């Protein structure tokens, strides 16, 4: 661990079943059980095997139109291309996403957490779950939480609270409209630092812009394969980040694909 590493939960070298909190400069006494690699329940009939690097590379190539991907430090916050694949389940009661680089190497994942047994049954039997609070953890390749995203209860428009692993606030992603090309604003306090802009009314592809309106990243929905398309509601996205971004914008962009899927795709299902 280096002094430049972000605060967060990381694998405890003394106990492989636990994680220890790194405050950005030193290890603390705080520990917790290490999360499972993925949280699929047996009832969900998980259809996802080992991710196919060739398929992930093909997704990245289609989204980037075959352009060479250069740079990247092998983390969620430094790679110029993030391939976000939703875990395919025949009956889904909690969302899970794997995040990979353009070469198919795993960078981390996103897991929906805090789903009670009643909430899982409710999701299986009705669509009411879409209006309730949703909580997600963005985890790195070691399954350590680096970001948390919470969408409070909603009726029409979605709002997302983005925090660090210790729950300290980063900002909010707020849906601005319901009709036409969907837009989200990135807010830090009362200051708008950027946003997400759908490129058409069906909201398949998105431009992510900074406060000046310059595009800094884009999100493209990609085809995940016949099994996913035919039997599940799982979606796949490629996030292209045009340049290294400072926080809080960098954290907002990492959370963007998750925001889009939960606010627009999962709710419509």
**Each residue's pLDDT tens digit, 154-202:** 878 888 999 998 899 999 999 998 888 889 999 999 999 999 998 876 6
Tell me, yes or no, whether 15 and 148 share the same domain.
Answer: no
What is the pTM assigned to this prediction?
Answer: 0.74
Q: Is residue 12 part of a domain?
A: yes
Same domain, 15 and 64: no
Question: From CA 47, how far away is CA 45, in angstroms rounded?
Answer: 6
Same domain, 22 and 52: no
Query: What does the pLDDT look like over 38-74, one tens digit per residue?
Result: 444 444 444 455 677 888 888 888 888 877 777 778 8
What average pLDDT is seen over the chain?
78
Backbone angles phi, psi at 119, to 5 degrees: -65, -40
CATH number for the domain spanning 73: value is: 2.40.160.200
How many structural domains are present in the chain? 2
Q: Which two tokens stand for residue 113?
A: 């957490």
Q: What CA–CA distances, in Å, run from 151 to 49, 76, 143, 260, 262?
A: 29, 21, 21, 12, 9
Tokens (6 digits) for 164: 């660090």
Kindly state whether residue 52 falls inside one of the protein's structural domains.
Answer: yes
Secondary structure (3-state) at 66: coil
201 and 172 both lie in a single domain = yes
């Amino acid at each position: 661990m280096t002094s430049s590493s972000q605060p967060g939960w990381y694998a405890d070298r003394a106990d492989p079943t636990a994680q220890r909190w790194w405050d950005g400069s030193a290890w603390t006494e705080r520990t917790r059980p290490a999360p499972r690699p993925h949280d699929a329940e047996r009832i969900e009939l998980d259809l996802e095997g080992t991710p196919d690097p060739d398929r992930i590379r093909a997704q990245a190539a289609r989204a980037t139109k075959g352009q060479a991907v250069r740079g990247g430090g092998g983390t969620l916050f430094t790679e110029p291309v993030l391939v976000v694949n939703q875990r395919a389940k025949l009956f889904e009661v909690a969302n899970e996403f794997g995040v990979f680089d353009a070469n198919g190497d795993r960078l981390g994942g996103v897991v929906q957490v805090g789903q009670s047994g009643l909430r899982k049954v409710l999701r299986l039997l009705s669509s009411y779950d879409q209006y309730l609070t949703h909580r997600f953890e963005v985890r790195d390749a070691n399954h350590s939480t680096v970001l948390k995203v919470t969408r409070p209860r909603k009726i029409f428009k979605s709002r997302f609270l983005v925090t660090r692993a210790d729950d300290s606030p980063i900002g909010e992603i707020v849906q601005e409209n319901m009709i036409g090309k969907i837009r989200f604003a990135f807010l830090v306090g009362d200051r708008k630092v950027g946003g997400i802009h759908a490129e058409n009314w069906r909201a398949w592809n998105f431009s992510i812009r900074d406060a000046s309106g310059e595009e800094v990243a884009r999100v493209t929905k990609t085809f995940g394969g016949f099994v996913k398309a035919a039997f599940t509601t799982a979606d796949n996205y490629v996030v292209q980040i045009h340049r290294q971004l400072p926080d809080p914008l960098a954290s907002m962009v990492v959370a963007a694909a998750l925001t889009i899927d939960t606010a627009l795709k999962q709710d419509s299902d």
